[in-house]
Amino acid sequence: MNVDTSVWPPRYDPTYRPDPTADFWFPELECLQPGARDALILDKLRRQVAWAWERSPFYRRKWDAAGVSPATLQSLEDLAKFPVVQKAELRLSQAAAPPYGEYLCIDPGEVVRIHGTSGTTGRPTVFGLGSEDWGRIGEAHARILWAAGIRPDDRVLICSFFSLYLGSWGALRGVERLGATAFPFGAGVPGQTLMAVEWARELKPTAFYGTPSYALHFAETSRREGIDPRTFGLRTLFFSGEPGAGIPATKRLIEETFGGRCVDMGSMAEMTPWMTNAECRHRTGMHLWQDLVYTQVCAPETFAPLPFGAEGTPVYT
């Protein structure tokens, strides 16, 4: 096992890497029976709630007001007793205690990376990440990318904005941790797509990350240059940021265009590691990586958990 669960937060062995022929990155977790997995998730949730209770005035006040504490969480069902946090609350906390708000659970001096939302729907939300956060994000994304079929011999062309947006950075961190070759090309600069096509023609990447619409734009640009997108040799194309890769017609179009498998991923930046809703290489639907981010479907008005098969709003923990 490549994780020490005797400490919290858990520490991973940065030298660990499975055999390239292995189906699973972390079989001790990925092959657990449902009951054992739920017990692990509950243990992690209890430790995490205690961690936030001790270190975050924001969470302690909110939970005090709701009449809950770490002792309340005795089962996964008890999670419904804890109030849901919404983005407006994070913004208010951030304004009252800039720049990180009172929900940061490490010393501000331990923050090594700052990311955030774009602020298109209001004040930008700041995310302060510590070095151990960044390591665990890489570990989680490597595990999920391994399930998607990425291996150390892959060359991954990352055509996405390298800015506040965590999507491209998260993909890069996972690719690096997995041991594949990352080509963080970026996107958004005039003429950059044509440059990406020219580089892809020379480097022959085997995997691609971006948004579905950008992949199709990339293909159109290739064709204008007289290049069939299938000649790049892309085996895996994985996406976030848009729903297109989960729409059957769009998925089929991308796979026919490039001759590789199209893998859908994503949740939301606030829940990084954001790949925790993701297809695997078999592409039979999205897996929820519940031991990383616990995901429930809840009633939009009350946030009460709904039964399997019901429609609602996702709530992430």
| Top-confidence residue, 58 or 164 | 58
pTM (2 d.p.): 0.94
Q: What is the pLDDT of residue 54?
A: 97
- Please give the pLDDT value at position 237: 99
Residue 131 has pLDDT above 60, yes or no: yes
Q: How many CA atoms lie within 13 A of 44 on its CB side?
A: 19
Nearest to 266 by CA among 247, 239, 300: 239
Q: If you count them, how many residues does the chain have? A: 317
User: Beta strand pairing status for 126-130 and 111-116?
Assistant: antiparallel
| pLDDT recorded at residue 119 | 67
Give me the pLDDT at residue 155, please: 99
Q: Average pLDDT for residues 49-70, to the nearest whole number?
A: 98
d(CA 205, CA 241): 21
The answer to whether the beta carbons of residues 130 and 110 sit under 8 Å apart is: yes
The residues, any chain, with a CB within 8 Å of residue 63's CB and separated by 6 or more, are 53, 69, 82, 83
pLDDT for the residue numbered 271 = 86
> For residue range 3-40, what is the model confidence (pLDDT) as tens digits?
666 677 777 888 899 999 999 999 988 999 999 999 99
Region 59-85 average pLDDT: 98
Q: pLDDT by residue (tens digit) across 206-237?
A: 999 999 999 999 999 999 999 999 999 999 99
Average pLDDT of the chain is: 94
- Rounded Cα–Cα distance for residues 181 and 253 (Å): 26
Domains of the chain: 149-295 (3.40.50.12780)
The pLDDT of 181-190, averaged and rounded, is 94
In the chain, the percentage of residues whose pLDDT exceeds 70 is: 96
| pLDDT tens-digit readout, 90-130 | 999 999 999 999 999 999 999 999 998 866 667 888 999 99
Does 1 score more than 60 pLDDT?
no
Q: Which residues pair with 277 in a beta bridge?
A: 288
Model confidence at 45: pLDDT above 90: yes
Give me the percent of the chain exceeding a pLDDT of 90. 85
* Residue 231 confidence (pLDDT): 98
Of 27, 23, 43, the closest CA to residue 35 belongs to 43
Identity of the amino acid at 257: T
Task: Give pLDDT tens digits for 133-170.
Answer: 999 999 999 999 999 999 999 999 999 999 888 889 99
Q: Give residue 121's pLDDT.
A: 67
**What was the pLDDT predicted at 288?**
95
